[in-house]
Amino acid sequence: MPELPEVETVSQGIKSKLLNQKIINVVVKRRDLRFRMDPNLEKKITNTKIISVDRRAKYILIHLDNNLTVIIHLGMSGRVSIEDLNSNEIEFKHTHLQIITNNKKKFKFIDPRRFGSILLCDSKKLNNHKLIKNLAPEPLSKLFTKNYLFDRLKGRKADIKSIIMNQSIVVGVGNIYASESLFTAQIRPSRQARFLSLVDCDMLVKSIKKVLKRSIKLGGSSINDHSLVDGNLGFFQREFQVYGKEGEFCSKKTCQSKILRIVIAQRSSFYCKKCQK
């Protein structure tokens, strides 16, 4: 499942190829995604211009000049491909939406499992949209600080890994980035959240930001279906320290310990028992 860096790289890719372009043709092949696509989507977005592209949590937001915003969620297996119109077209199975823009690009939304979604929203009401309005702070924003996290952990007996993956505390951090950030912060994933000190929270917040930024820079992690809009892959998986590394030696040279796997909240968690306390 794509996490924040993967969605961010797709959002940046859409922006770099389609910003300020006019949508000249729209074809919907399947509307029954996780949420049903607007029956008039084609009419509503044809002949509009893309005026900005950004992201909130794991939603890609494409803002149009008619006060509509297209909200794209990649779900489990969704991806976006943008090709030159006259290139040898790659025929993707499970292409549910196709958009042609006036700079001769073809945008495709591909989603074999159809847990993704494409929704339309009045741009002015976006912050009140049911999917957007209750979202917690962005991890890369100034709102996500050691004090914020420390306050949210008070009295919580849940393990810290589940807490940082909890979308009502901070958005976009999934299994991969939670495991990697906890290693960087030297905090064991199973530690009870309420026992983290302010110093621990400082380390963890800094680690989450650092790991996410590094992954975005490398195009995200291409271990599932993630690829960039031009079909290239992300490379952050090459820098994993613990995720998927059960039985391998810890990457800290002085450590000599092996990476362990435990299951927390039905998800595999990877850590070094010597480096993470």
Q: Which residues are catalytic?
A: 2-3, 58, 267
Pairing of strands 95-101, 23-28: antiparallel
Place of tokens 């995604």: 33
Note the residues at the interface with Zn ion (CB under 5 A).
250, 252, 255, 257, 272, 274-275
d(Cα 200, Cα 206) in Å, to the nearest integer?
A: 10
For residue 184, the minimal CB distance to Zn ion (Å) is 12
- Residue 225 or 239: the one with the smaller Cβ distance to Zn ion is 239
Residue placing its CB nearer to Zn ion in the complex, 127 or 249: 249
Residue 93: how many other CB atoms lie within 10 Å: 6
As a whole number of angstroms, the distance between CA 211 and CA 220 comes to 10
Which residue's structure tokens are 């006036």? 102
Is beta strand 59-64 parallel, antiparallel or unpaired with respect to 23-28? unpaired
Shortest spacing between CB 244 and Zn ion, in angstroms:
16
Q: How far is the CB of 194 from Zn ion (least distance, A)?
A: 25
Question: Are 264 and 272 in contact, with CB atoms under 8 Å apart?
Answer: no
Taking CB atoms, the residue at the shortest distance from Zn ion is 250
**Cβ closest to Zn ion, residue 209 vs residue 252:** 252
Q: CA 197 to CA 118: how far, in whole Å?
A: 41
- 268's enclosing H/E stretch is strand 267-272
Dist. CA 6–CA 13, nearest whole Å: 11
The DSSP symbol for 191 reads S
